[in-house]
Every structure is written in structure tokens, then in C-alpha cells.
Amino acid sequence: MTLNYHHLRLFRAVALEGNLTRAAQRLGLSPSALSAQLGALEERLGHPLFERRGRGLVLSEAGRIALEHAEVIFRTGEDLLATLRGHGRARAPLRVGALATLSRNFLLSFLRPVIGRPDVELVIRIGSQAELLRGLESLAFDLVLTTLAPPRERGSRLVVHRLAEMGASLVGTPARLGPAPAPLAVLLAREPLVLPTAETGLRTAFDALAARLELRPTIAAEVEDMATMRLLARADVGLALLPPVVVRDELAAGVLVERCRVPCPSTSRPSGRSSSAGASRARSCASCWPPWSAGPGPRKGPGASAGPRRAINRRGSDRRR
């Protein structure tokens, strides 16, 4: 079965736009012509690629799979063009995936050694844990930064390094927290909270802490990325549970105040579950938040010896921030 890659490019444009009419305008096509070509691609693949939601389009399960493969195909084509153009100096692409809840300050700090290097083309994409791990398996990423240790599976090609350990804190405005520190149980019972979403390790540890304290906190918002949690804390929506590195500028300026900071306990090996040490220490305040990096194991073929890929993985094995 042959595949029309022009149809695949049109599909990608619609998927990113989420609207057929807007995508057609951007591509310089009529909506009817674009719809017909998408229909031809769906017929070729044997699955519908979109589901209609209101006036927009969302990807079906087959569409999500097709988009992942399309991204790999087009990035490979871009690499080919960049390599052949060359301009006398090769640039090695470094594709980094980052979990949506990862601190952007941590991400920038970790990648700073390669930012702006003339021999490195840095590509950063944000996604869920499942999306990032699928990207690693398909070689769409060279490295993934996450706060969740991937499960250990037989035959897995992933190499996992612990990069850093940091505590999580309750952070809020000075007006909300007041000048005198309050006990943790009082804060959790009294103040609305801005929490990470349920699938994160930080939220799992916090829920366990609340259960041990026999508290049912008021949740003002559940947010999947730390940048939005920072903005909600600044807007005084409630106390945000996040690593202080996320709001270091606000803490330095006095815009936000930190309470109950607890460093994450060390563990001897990557684990997707809270350790017993983590549970006991969390009782006094918050929970641990360890960033991990995961990358594909050694591979052969073109690009296998690209310096920045291996260097950043080796560097990650003993980096502490």
C-alpha cells in the first residue's frame, strides 16, 4: 500500500489547527478540496482520523497514531534537508521531550549547556508521560525529562537517570499566608488549593498525605502544567503545591511566599511509587518531586555518534540541581 505524503502533510496541518476552515485558509486551499484529500487519506488508511466536536475537530485514536508517525516522517525529512544543505558545518539535532508538569525553570537550567551552541539544533516538545515514552520508542525524542520514573519492563531500551531531587511547598501570596506561619493541617483545611493533576507523582503523594491527616482539602483548581499553577498562585486563587524552583523569581521579589518546604528524600533506584522514607517525611509537610531523564539506549546507524545526545545523557546521570 502506497501513502500519499502530500495528504499526510495536509492531515498534519488540520490536526495542529483543530479546524478545517482555518487550516484550508493557511494552506491556500478551499475547505471542500482539503476535506476531499483528507477523505482520500482516511480511505487509504482504513480509519477515520478525526471526530467532530462542536465546530472543531479532534483526533481519533487512529488520528493520534497517524500524527505521531507523521511528525517522525517530516522531522526525518527536515534532517535530510539540513544535512545536505550543510553550509559547511553540521548541526546535530537534539530532540527533548518534557512532561507538561515539569518546571520550565528546571528545564531551562538543565538545557542551558546546549542552548545557543552552533553545532546543536535544539527541539523541545511538551507532552504527557505516555506521549513522551511513545516518542522515545519511535525515536522521535533523544531525551525525555519527566517527574515520573518509567516502569521497568523486560526488553525495554530506555536508560533512566535521576537528575535532581527537590521538595515541594505550599506557595501563596503574602496576604493569604499572613506574617505568622500556620501549621500544615490548618493551611490545608482552611485555604483553597491549586494542585497538579491526579496522574502526577506529586499529586499522588499529596493525596496520600491528606488521607493520613484525615483532611479533605478544598481544591480550587487542578492544573497539568507548572507555569499555569504559578500564574494562579500569583492571582491568589489559592495555595499552590509546587517545587519552589517554579516560582523562584516571585519568591525573590516577595510576590509569593513559601511555606512548609521539605526536601525530597533520596532513593537508591528509580521507582514509580513513593518510598517509605518519602511517606514518613511527607507527613510533616509536602511530598517529593524527583525529575528523571529517560533516553533510548545505544543505537547504531547514522547519527548514533552525535555528541550532544550522548553527552547530555551522561551528564544527566550525576547532575544535581
Q: How confident is the model at residue 263 (pLDDT cuts 50, 70, 90)?
A: very low
Give mean pLDDT, residues 137-160.
79
Q: Supply the angle between the helices 31-45 and 5-17 in degrees, to the nearest 10.
A: 110
Q: What pLDDT, on the 0 to 100 scale, is given for residue 295?
A: 60
Residue pair 232/193 in contact (Cβ under 8 Å)? The answer is no
pLDDT tier for residue 315 given thresholds of 50, 70 and 90: very low
Q: Check: CATH 3.40.190.10 for 168-282?
A: yes
pLDDT digits (tens, 9 = 90+) for 119-141: 888 999 988 888 888 888 888 88
Task: State the alpha helices, DSSP H only, in 192-285.
Answer: 201-212, 226-234, 248-253, 276-282
**What pLDDT, on a 0 to 100 scale, did the predictor assign at position 199?**
76
Average pLDDT in the chain? 76
Can you give the pTM of this predicted structure? 0.49
Tell me the three state secondary structure of residue 194: strand
Architecture of domain 91-164+291-316: 3-Layer(aba) Sandwich (3.40)
Mean pLDDT of 272-294: 35
253: pLDDT confidence band, cut at 50, 70 and 90? very high
Delimiting residues of CATH 3.40.190.10 domain(s) in the chain: 91-164+291-316, 168-282
Which CATH class, in words, describes the domain spanning 1-86? mainly alpha
Q: For residues 180-190, b (16+ Cβ closer than 10 Å) or e, as one string? A: eebebeebbee
274: helix, strand or coil: coil
CA atoms within 13 A on the CB side of 318: 1
Whole-number percent of the chain with pLDDT over 90: 23
User: CA 153, CA 320: separation in Å to the nearest integer?
Assistant: 26
143-146/158-162 β-pairing: unpaired
Q: CB burial class (10 A; 0-12, 13-18, 19+) of residue 136? A: buried
Each residue's pLDDT tens digit, 37-76: 999 999 999 999 999 888 788 899 999 999 888 888 888 8
Extended strands (E) in the chain:
50-53, 56-59, 92-99, 120-127, 143-146, 158-162, 168-172, 193-196, 219-223, 239-242, 257-262, 292-296
In terms of C-beta density within 10 A (0-12 exposed, 13-18 middle, 19 or more buried), how is residue 54 classed? exposed
Q: Which segments of the chain belong to CATH 1.10.10.10?
A: 1-86
Choose from 5-14, 84-93, 306-315 the range with maximum mean pLDDT. Answer: 5-14
Give residue 224's pLDDT. Answer: 82
Q: How do residues 77-108 score in pLDDT, each as one tens digit?
A: 887 777 677 555 567 888 999 888 787 888 88
The string of pLDDT tens digits covering residues 18-47 is 888 888 998 899 989 999 999 999 999 999
Phi, psi (deg, nearest 5) at residue 130: -65, -45
